[in-house]
Amino acid sequence: MSFKSIFIPKGHKFRLSGQAAQLSFIPKGHKFRLSRQAAQLSFKLSVLTSIVIMRASIKSTLAAAIICFTANNAEALENSELIRASIIEKVSRFIEWPTWTNERFTICVTDKSPLLPALQTYYANMSLADKPVSLLIFHELKDIKVCQVIYLNDDDRSDDLVPVLQLAGSQPILIVTGKQNDVSQGAHVDFFVKDTRLHLEVNRTALMNSGLKASYHLLKVARIVE
């Protein structure tokens, strides 16, 4: 029988339903051996737990945004902008990214975006895809070639999306907007508030054409456009 060694931190407990191995206390630095079948089950349980936590995270973000958008004071407005900034992060974590050589994860935003201060605050010490996040304020479209994510605000000019799409082409650049139905124009993801509710839309075909793939858990909470 094949075995695998697993490290257990000091004082932690380990219980696996249906398995013979049960430990109530493990001294610091000690190891125990677990059959391959049990180790695989333990790994699967860990993955499932992570998925549940991530799915709950995006749902809680949407719920919080709804609360903030329905309030009518300056503090709520500031919070709602931070939540809108956070949605870009939540969506990005539900995207399967190809390998790239850049040392940083770059989010690009136009210099005229009203969401810019919130983005600068929210992403000051953020990491995505195991890389530190950089916020790039672009003035010319040629600058977007280094981006992993491009965010276009709903207050940006309506014609900004077309040249961005043309320049991005089939590159793995996630294009997120804050305007309803932009996914029908070729954007990958858009989000907006309607009837005091925050909505997500995803263009799955556009994502695939750019070499990106959305997680099932993102698609579950979004309106999908093919």
User: Around Cβ 215, how many Cβ atoms within 10 Å?
Assistant: 16
Of 113, 112, 94, 97, nearest in space to 178 by CA: 113
Q: Kindly indicate the confidence band of residue 83, based on its pLDDT and cuts at 50, 70 and 90.
A: confident
Q: CA torsion sign, 58 to 62 to 63 to 67?
A: positive
Strand partners, 198: 193
The pTM of the full predicted model, rounded to 2 decimals, is: 0.66
Residues 99, 128 contacting (CB under 8 angstroms): no
CA distance 145 to 167: 8
Q: Give tens-digit pLDDT for 165-217.
A: 988 889 999 999 988 999 999 999 999 888 878 889 999 999 999 999 999 99
What pLDDT is recorded for position 145?
Answer: 81
Find which of 13-17, 65-69, 108-112, 186-190 is predicted with most confidence, using mean pLDDT.
186-190
Query: Domains of the chain by range and CATH?
Result: 84-225 (3.40.50.2300)
Ramachandran bin of 124, using left for φ above 0, alpha for ψ from -120 to 50, beta for the remaining angles:
alpha
